[in-house]
Amino acid sequence: MDENQTQPVPNNTRFALWLIVLAVIVVVGFAVNTQKKSEAIKIGLIFPLTGPVASLGENAKNGALLAYRGLETSLQGRFSLVFEDDHFDPKTAVTGFYKLVEKEKVHAVICFTSAPCSALAPLADERKIPLVAIASAPVQKDRGFVMRLEISTRKEAEKLLEFLTRKNYSNIASVVALQDGIQSGYEVLKANNDFSRKEVSSESIVPDQKDYRTVITKMLAKKPDAIFVGLLPGTAGVFGKQARELGYKGDFLGFNFVEGDETLQAAGGSLDGIIYTQAAEPSGWFSEAYKSTYGQTPGPGSAHSYDAITLLAQAVNQNAVSGTDIVNFLENVRNYSGALGVFDSIGNTHEFSVPLMLKTIKNGQFAPLAE
């Protein structure tokens, strides 16, 4: 036999080599899994904590903190929340996003309200950072890393149209802020033949307008028996008060945007009886926990941010740490029972089926509409 000829490896040696390889694979896999389970997770939250809709930002912050405090001790120890105040300004939101991503090294971001979320959506895709958008506008459309957690403006419009059909108004006037979420819902209203046929006046205004008397005077000349108030918290109340002062006696209608402490303060009772769409009442257990903690009932955004934190925590608990893994988890949420009620992730649309209802203002307080 040639001395240089390769000798066959004995079976027992080959088996030993396989055991070594298998052991290495197991050890490396265990180490990676352990690292995932011990990795510190940062969640960035960009909310309007000051500015014209500060009450909404405070609601959302309270809900997020309540969710964080409710996490299991082992999971809570791995989590940290980092807040940024966007003042309800898209440019400030962008600055906050870069700070959270580049300095804080967050794993995911939660944003609140349509304009800031619209500005952040392309950045989330660019940086591959999961963005949970509590926004009415379809900011998630054509985005790979954006998930929208809010009632659909299309569904809001359809719900309001059902109510309009029952009421059978003759003349409808509309005042609509140039804001993404409101505009997307209003477009659905306008596309309805019955609504467009009855709409006798439509006025588009900047979101922070304060004097509506000229607009209202033009509207009242058309003798509307209902006015669609497509305005934001605070400004909706100002509009209602000025309309009543100028002699308007008819009904008011709106979307979820009208709800906020700023509206009640500015309206001074003028919007009592308004009919508007909103996410369904929060789950009873959440309302009780919120009131026990903060001494008040949950407001708009509270349940949304609670569920956003809880969903992200569940993702991390299942070792979804990378941006892609987190998004994959959120895309496959089914029959989730949270503060907002029971909902699912809707197919490949990157949004959730958040339930909605009709609400009103009764005796100076927001309340479910008794239908």
Domain-by-domain residue ranges, the chain? 38-151+282-354, 153-280+359-368
Per CATH, 38-151+282-354 and 153-280+359-368 having the same topology is answered yes
**Would you state the pLDDT for residue 39?**
72
The per-residue pLDDT for range 241-277, each reduced to its tens digit, is 999 999 999 999 999 999 999 999 999 999 999 999 9
Instruction: Please answer whether residues 44 and 108 qualify as being in contact, where contact means their C-beta atoms are separated by less than 8 angstroms.
Output: yes
CATH architecture of 153-280+359-368: 3-Layer(aba) Sandwich (3.40)
Each residue of 95-145: pLDDT tens digit? 999 999 999 999 999 999 999 999 999 999 999 999 999 999 999 999 999
Q: Which CATH superfamily, name and number, covers 38-151+282-354? A: Response regulator (3.40.50.2300)
Which residues in the chain land under pLDDT 50? Answer: 1-6, 21, 23-36
Q: What is residue 27's predicted lDDT score, i.e. its pLDDT?
A: 39
Would you state the pLDDT for residue 106? 98
For residue 321, the model assigns a pLDDT of 86
Distance CA 190, CA 160 (A): 12
pLDDT of residue 277: 98
What is residue 12's predicted lDDT score, i.e. its pLDDT? 60
